[in-house]
Amino acid sequence: MTWAIPCPPQPSLPIVGSDDRFPVRRIYCVGQNYAAHAREMGSNPDQDPPFFFSKPADALVADGATVPYPPGTDNLHHEAELVVAIGIGGANIPVETALDHVWGYAIGNDLTRRDLQAAAKKVGRPWDMAKGFDHSAPCGQLHPVSTSGHLTAGAISLSVNGDLRQSSDLSDLIWPVADVIAYLSFMVVLAPGDLIFTGTPEGVGPLVQGDVCVVEIEGLGQLTTHIGSATA
């Protein structure tokens, strides 16, 4: 078989302690999965079930990279997140066995064009252009479960130019990782290579050109993203 156009490169993540890479199929993201963040965004965490949006796999950005300030926004926001990598797919996965489907964990930053998101919410439109734009998914090295274990607790924080913006604990997730996997697998068939960004704590805020954004999760290290100049 020959391709009509050049075949796009396969998005992937580096793996800690290995020259192998983890191929990425899809990126799912959980909205408002920390109670305080749900409240700061005007939602009631006691009433809402988990909901999801997506980013394209080629929106991944490596640790240490410079992300150009995206067009179409004056209010780019950071969102520190734990990322789950699926190694075994499935549908209707029970909560009790959901963690068996996890290959590893990484640090993520769900970059968001907040003004576009607010405008979309106001008129009931999709969030695609607010969440799924180019370079919108910085993600660090993948830590295999065999070395990291399952992360049910641990500090998660984000700083900008050394100033602490977000600080919480993974134990504060409204829907823990196993519940997220089980619920999502009821909605779609999960497959090896899928990533799940599990939600961000309170304290989201703006990034401007020249900022250095660092996300840290206990046991996973740090993810650094530089915000560059606006694209032409």
Give 181-216 pLDDT, tens digit per residue. 999 999 999 999 999 999 999 999 999 999 999 999
Least confident segment among 29-33, 51-55, 73-77, 183-187: 29-33
pLDDT of residue 99: 97
What is the per-residue pLDDT for 80?
97
Judge whether 216 and 168 are in contact, CB under 8 Å.
no
**pLDDT tier at 39, thresholds 50, 70, 90:** low
Cβ contacts of residue 94 below 8 Å, gap of 6+?
Answer: 182
pLDDT of 48 over the 80 cut? no
CA-based nearest residue to 32, from 53, 55, 59, 63: 53
pLDDT tens digits for range 116-160: 999 999 999 999 999 999 999 999 999 999 888 999 999 999 999
Closest CA to 206 of 51, 63, 69: 69
Contact 55, 131 (CB under 8 A): yes
User: Could you say which DSSP state residue 131 is in?
Assistant: H
Reported as type and span, the H/E element at residue 143 is strand 143-144
Q: Taking 60 as the threshold, does the pLDDT of residue 232 lie above it? A: no
Do 82 and 104 meet the contact criterion of CB atoms below 8 Å apart?
no
Check residue 42 and give its pLDDT: 62
pLDDT of res. 46: 65
Residue-range domains of the chain with CATH:
12-230 (3.90.850.10)
